[in-house]
């Protein structure tokens, strides 16, 4: 990876919702414009206000040379992975293969991969108070992934998913009840539903685009939000599921399918700013990419020597030093991370990642006992400075709150308010949602806790916090029942 990218002329395209790194200036600019139109089109469909996120709440996208390189950078063996998106507060990142066209109309292009992944991101941001079964999340992403862009600015959504045509035509159907309730990896060897994504797209497209099913998707979402199981919500919203299965089958045999047309005049996107990366930034880009994706302890130890070599070559580049600080912290070298961060801040005091890495390393030193407990106030000072650089960056808000938790002290009202604002900025981060819910329960805010917890507790496919969230939801609902006034006689 390093040898393939270290000497490349990398370009950064910066827009309202994205920061994109690639090697072809025209491709990167055009792709940034299409992505912004894509975001605006989905926001138009879901009547979502166009609020410009803070700089660090944008999605960072790296364009690499091939799908195999995506897997190598991410440390993933699954051959079906053609692109990667990881949603995290203040650090959402995607990696996709080169933007060249698909080899045939039946293959998934790199652009389609990213549209699919960003549709997931948009859904988690726009539809935050509901949990969705896998068929819905994948059908939603596949529906929007087929976006077509016309020269007059018009965006077509829900065009035929040609890259799914072969699996729909030649692989075994997923039974409708299995599709609706599925909650594991559809490509796993033991379950192996090759047509899962295609069938999910077909069902979503049919429910979204046919007049006879108008309003049913909304009713389905409402029933999921109320805590009904995936199958119960489907039966309540769609009616007879056997009939639904037959109707979708006939729908897929039509010669023409309608697409959703979004007039370009309704879409407003901000400016696209391009710049060529400095030599030091380009040389450090492989390290930055892997660090942002997340590394194991073993990977971190292997990565830090390369980061040090680049920093030795470019000792006065603040971005290089901030990346070195991140690599050092990941490798467990707190003092080296703090030293690199301080050097970066001395050059550019507005470089927020340097402040964050310094805060992480200092917090780890206090938590490990290398510094006295009283030093938590110094950690808070670092994150206060980071917040001053960018008020709407979620990480300083989260970490400021966490210092009180780690210190064993009750958080201040200001710390709690900051934590909840971080969730508003990053509603897709499940660990953050769990943290906010726990604080609400401690404060006796059971109604708020139930609403905040719902996307975790009612998630049909288990995640890191699912079991604990479901148990906590039972406890919260019991508390709410105790608070309810007695029924009038």
Q: pLDDT at position 243, please?
A: 96
Strand partners, 414: none
Q: pLDDT at position 197, please?
A: 81
Contact between 396 and 383 (Cβ < 8 Å)? yes
Q: pLDDT at position 20, please?
A: 93
Q: pLDDT at position 47, please?
A: 75
Contact between 198 and 164 (Cβ < 8 Å)? yes
The second-level CATH assignment, the architecture, of 1-124 is: 3-Layer(aba) Sandwich (3.40)
Contact between 359 and 349 (Cβ < 8 Å)? no
Contact between 94 and 113 (Cβ < 8 Å)? no
Which two tokens mark 224? 């999921």
Find out if CATH 1.10.443.10 is the number for domain 278-428.
Answer: no
Q: How far apart are CA 47 and CA 49, in angstroms?
A: 6
Q: How far apart are CA 159 and CA 145, in angstroms?
A: 9
Q: Per-residue DSSP letters for 377-411?
A: HHHHHHHHHHHHH-TT-HHHHHHHHHHHHHHT-PP
Write the CB contacts of 249 (distance below 8 Å, at least 6 apart in sequence): none
Alpha helix ranges (H) inside 314-351:
318-330, 334-347
> Which of the residues in the chain have pLDDT under 50?
1-7, 101-107, 170, 185-193, 488-489
Q: Name the residue with tokens 């310094």.
A: 358
Q: pLDDT at position 3, please?
A: 40
Domain ranges for the chain: 1-124, 129-265, 278-428
In whole angstroms, what separates CA 303 from the centre of its chain? 24
Q: Per-residue DSSP letters for 235-293?
A: HHHH--HHHHHHHHHHHHT-S----EEE-GGG------EEEEPPHHHHHHHHHHHHHHH
Which two tokens mark 471? 């148990």
Which two tokens mark 202? 């077909």
Which two tokens mark 163? 């890259």
Global pTM reads 0.83
Three state DSSP letters for 441-488: HHCCCHHHHHHHHHHHHCCCCCCCCHHHHHHHHHHHHHHHHHHCCCCC
Q: pLDDT at position 101, please?
A: 47
Write the CB contacts of 116 (distance below 8 Å, at least 6 apart in sequence): 83, 141, 142, 144, 145
Q: Tell how strand 273-276 and strand 84-86 pair up.
A: unpaired
């Amino acid at each position: 990876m390093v040898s393939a990218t270290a000497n490349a002329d990398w370009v950064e395209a910066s827009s309202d919702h994205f920061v994109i790194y690639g090697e072809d200036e025209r491709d990167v600019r055009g792709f940034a414009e299409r992505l912004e139109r894509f975001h605006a089109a989905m926001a138009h469909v879901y009547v979502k206000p166009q609020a410009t996120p803070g700089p660090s709440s944008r999605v960072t996208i790296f364009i690499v040379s091939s799908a195999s390189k995506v897997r190598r950078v991410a440390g993933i063996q699954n051959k079906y992975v053609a692109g990667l998106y990881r949603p995290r507060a203040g650090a959402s990142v995607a990696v996709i293969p080169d933007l060249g066209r698909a080899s045939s109309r039946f293959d998934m292009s790199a652009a389609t991969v990213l549209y699919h992944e960003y549709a997931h991101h948009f859904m988690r941001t726009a539809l935050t108070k509901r949990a969705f079964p896998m068929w819905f999340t994948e059908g939603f992403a596949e529906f929007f992934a087929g976006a077509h862009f016309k020269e007059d600015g018009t965006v077509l959504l829900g065009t035929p998913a040609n890259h799914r045509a072969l699996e729909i035509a030649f692989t075994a159907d997923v039974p409708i009840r299995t599709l609706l309730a599925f909650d594991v990896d559809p490509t796993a060897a033991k379950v192996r539903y090759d047509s899962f994504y295609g069938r999910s797209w077909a069902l979503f497209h049919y429910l979204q685009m046919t007049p006879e099913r108008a309003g049913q998707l909304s009713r389905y979402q409402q029933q999921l939000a109320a805590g009904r199981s995936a199958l119960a919500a489907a039966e309540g919203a769609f009616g007879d599921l056997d009939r639904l299965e037959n109707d979708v089958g006939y729908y897929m045999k039509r010669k023409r399918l309608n697409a959703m047309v979004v007039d370009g005049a309704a879409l407003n996107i901000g400016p696209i700013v391009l710049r060529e990366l400095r030599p030091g930034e380009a040389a450090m880009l492989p390290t930055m990419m892997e660090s942002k994706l997340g590394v194991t302890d073993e990977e971190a130890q292997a990565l830090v020597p390369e980061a040090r070599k680049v920093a030795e070559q470019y000792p006065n580049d603040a971005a290089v030093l901030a990346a070195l600080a991140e690599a050092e912290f990941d490798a467990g070298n707190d003092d080296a991370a703090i030293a690199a961060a301080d050097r970066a801040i001395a050059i550019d005091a507005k470089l927020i990642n340097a402040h964050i890495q310094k805060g992480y390393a200092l917090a780890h030193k206090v938590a490990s006992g290398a510094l006295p407990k009283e030093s938590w106030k110094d950690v808070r000072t670092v994150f206060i400075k980071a917040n001053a650089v960018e008020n709407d960056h979620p990480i300083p808000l989260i970490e400021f709150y966490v210092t009180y938790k780690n210190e064993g002290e009750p958080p201040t009202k200001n710390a709690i308010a900051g934590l909840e604002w971080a969730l508003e900025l990053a509603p897709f981060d499940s660990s953050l949602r769990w943290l906010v819910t726990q604080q609400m329960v401690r404060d006796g805010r059971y109604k708020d806790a139930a609403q905040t917890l719902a996307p975790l507790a009612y998630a049909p496919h288990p995640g890191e916090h699912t079991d604990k969230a479901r148990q906590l939801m039972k406890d919260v609902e019991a508390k709410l029942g105790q608070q309810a006034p007695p029924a009038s006689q």
